[in-house]
């Protein structure tokens, strides 16, 4: 139908940008549309994403923590990426170009705006990111994952649509699995992302060891932690008499989320979106160095729905976590209510809603 005029998806850097772009690509392809990924070298490193999708790598740059010191080099890299994207877009004649935030998306959106192509951006977090703040006044449409997004100015409201953050099909399938707060054994899932989070690896096993014996007897743990921490993590759980599975990486993380009764995690955009769609209560520890403290806003969104307890990292210690776990593990009604609260915040139709926005913004078929 549109094989010679694709939708361009500009995303790269991290899984938080790449996963929703991948899910949108699947939705657009299912509707018979062609898609093309424009990314950076990091965007090629995610197994299982964008299989069979044409892709082009363009230069991009980020000042990172070096700030203005790297500005000239970053600007040159972005300019080169913009030039390469302009050439690509003249050849492909895309129907629309959508950016998923982050510096890897910037060259493509600058190129598309300069060519007067239909453009839109998607914001995964509860705070509009720096690149999306720069692009927001220049694009035709904005898709958001939260009803309220900090740093999204009122003047952009007319072109803003709440779509939600697209999540993988396996997570949507988890939504159909009933949550049983009265199960004879309860599963605690601890995940700090693919690199693990050192503070979770230290604090959570110690917190579990502080739980009353009656609660520990009913508890099993699946803990995603770094290989170098595995021995310590496993020994702490064993000493507490708690069965635990510890791995650096779980290929079946959606299945683990589906089976979990409580999740302890950071509050990146994809993590929060997946917990909400699956309807799983969480203890969230926002990453304190996240840009604009966006992980705190993400976490508070789920907490406001009753689906999460937010513990800032300076207060994240074994005693505080043990208290939070005890409150839920000892009260099935409270645990079930938290699961329902998380579920109420989910957007299982986010991919479809974002695809609708992309198609309505782009050139017609």
- Detail the residues annotated as belonging to a binding site for UDP-N-acetyl-alpha-D-glucosamine: 14-16, 125, 168, 194, 295
Q: What is the dihedral of CA 189, 194, 195, 200, to 10 degrees?
A: -10
CATH number for the domain including 74? 3.40.50.2000
pLDDT at 1 over 50: no
Query: What pTM value is reported for the model?
Result: 0.94
Q: What value, to the nearest 5°, has the Cα angle with vertex 34 and ends 7 and 14?
A: 60
Question: Are 342 and 258 a contacting pair, CB within 8 Å?
Answer: no
Alpha-carbon distance 141 to 159, whole Å?
5
Structural domains in the chain (count): 2
317/311 Cα distance (integer angstroms): 9
What residues form the annotated binding site?
14-16, 125, 168, 194, 295
Nearest in space to 59 (alpha carbons), one of 80, 45, 30, 29: 80
Mark whether 68 and 92 lie in a shared domain: yes
Position 70 confidence tier, pLDDT thresholds 50, 70, 90: low
Range(s) of the domain holding residue 259:
171-344
Q: At what angle do helices 15-30 and 269-278 cross, to 10 degrees?
A: 50
Within a domain: 247? yes
> Do 332 and 354 belong to one domain?
no
Closest CA to 223 of 252, 199, 262, 190: 190
| Three-state secondary structure of 193-262 | CCCCCHHHHHHHHHHHHHCCHHHHCCEEEEEECCHHHHHHHHHHHHHCCCEEEEECCCCCHHHHHHHCCE
Residues 59, 194 within the same domain: no
Claim to verify: residue 142 and residue 91 sit in the same structural domain: yes
Q: Report how far residue 24's alpha carbon sits from residue 30's, in angstroms, rounded to the nearest whole number.
A: 10
Q: Which pLDDT score, from 0 to 100, does residue 193 have? A: 63
**Higher per-residue confidence, 68 vs 32:** 32
137-187 pLDDT tens trace: 999 999 999 999 999 999 999 999 999 999 999 999 999 999 999 999 999
CA distance 249 to 264: 16
176 and 55 together in one domain: no
Tell me what the mean pLDDT of segment 20-43 comes to: 97
Q: Can you read off the two tokens belonging to residue 107?
A: 């060259």
State the Cα–Cα distance between residues 235 and 222, nearest whole angstrom. 14
Looking at the fold, whether 89 and 225 belong to one and the same domain comes out as: no
pLDDT tens digits along 185-232? 999 999 986 555 899 999 999 999 999 999 999 999 999 988 888 889
Q: What is the Cα gyration radius of the chain?
A: 21
Asked if residue 28 lies in contact with residue 35, where contact means CB atoms within 8 angstroms, the answer is yes
The pLDDT score that the predictor gives to residue 74 is: 85
Residue 30: CB partners within 8 Å, gap ≥ 6?
none
Is the domain of 50 the same as that of 105?
yes
Q: With respect to residue 176, please indicate whether it lies within any of the assigned structural domains.
A: yes
Among residues 174, 185, 196, 200, the alpha carbon closest in space to that of 256 is found at 174
């Amino acid at each position: 139908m549109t094989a010679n005029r694709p939708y361009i998806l500009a995303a790269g850097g991290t899984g938080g940008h790449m996963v929703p772009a991948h899910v949108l690509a699947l939705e657009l392809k299912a509707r018979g549309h062609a898609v093309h990924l424009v990314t950076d070298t990091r965007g090629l490193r995610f197994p299982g994403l964008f299989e069979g999708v044409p892709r082009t790598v363009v230069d991009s740059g980020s000042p990172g923590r070096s700030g203005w010191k790297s500005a000239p080099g970053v600007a040159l890299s972005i300019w080169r990426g913009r030039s390469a994207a302009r050439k690509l877009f003249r050849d492909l004649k895309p129907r629309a170009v959508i950016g998923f935030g982050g510096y890897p998306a910037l060259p493509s959106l600058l190129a598309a705006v300069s060519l007067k192509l239909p453009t839109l951006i998607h914001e995964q977090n509860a705070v509009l990111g720096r690149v999306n703040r720069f692009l927001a006044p220049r694009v035709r449409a904005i898709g958001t994952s939260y009803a309220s997004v900090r740093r999204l100015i009122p003047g952009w409201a007319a072109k803003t649509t709440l779509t939600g953050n697209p999540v993988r099909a396996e997570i949507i399938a988890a939504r159909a699995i009933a949550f049983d707060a009265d199960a004879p054994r309860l599963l605690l899932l601890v995940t700090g992302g693919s690199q693990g989070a050192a503070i979770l690896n230290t604090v959570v096993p110690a917190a579990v060891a502080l739980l009353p014996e009656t609660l520990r007897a009913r508890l099993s743990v699946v803990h995603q932690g770094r290989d170098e921490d595995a021995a310590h993590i496993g020994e702490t759980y064993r000493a507490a008499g708690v069965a635990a599975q510890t791995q650096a990486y779980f290929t079946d993380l959606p299945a683990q989320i589906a089976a979990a009764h409580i999740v302890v995690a950071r509050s990146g955009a994809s993590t929060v979106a997946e917990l909400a769609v699956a309807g799983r209560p969480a203890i969230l520890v926002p990453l304190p160095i996240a840009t604009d403290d966006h992980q705190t806003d993400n976490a508070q969104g789920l907490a406001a729905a009753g689906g999460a307890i937010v513990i800032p990292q300076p207060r994240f210690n074994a005693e505080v976590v043990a208290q939070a776990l005890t409150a839920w593990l000892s009260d099935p009604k409270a645990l079930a209510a938290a699961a329902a609260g998380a579920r109420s915040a989910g957007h299982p139709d986010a991919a479809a809603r974002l695809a609708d926005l992309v198609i309505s913004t782009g050139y017609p078929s």
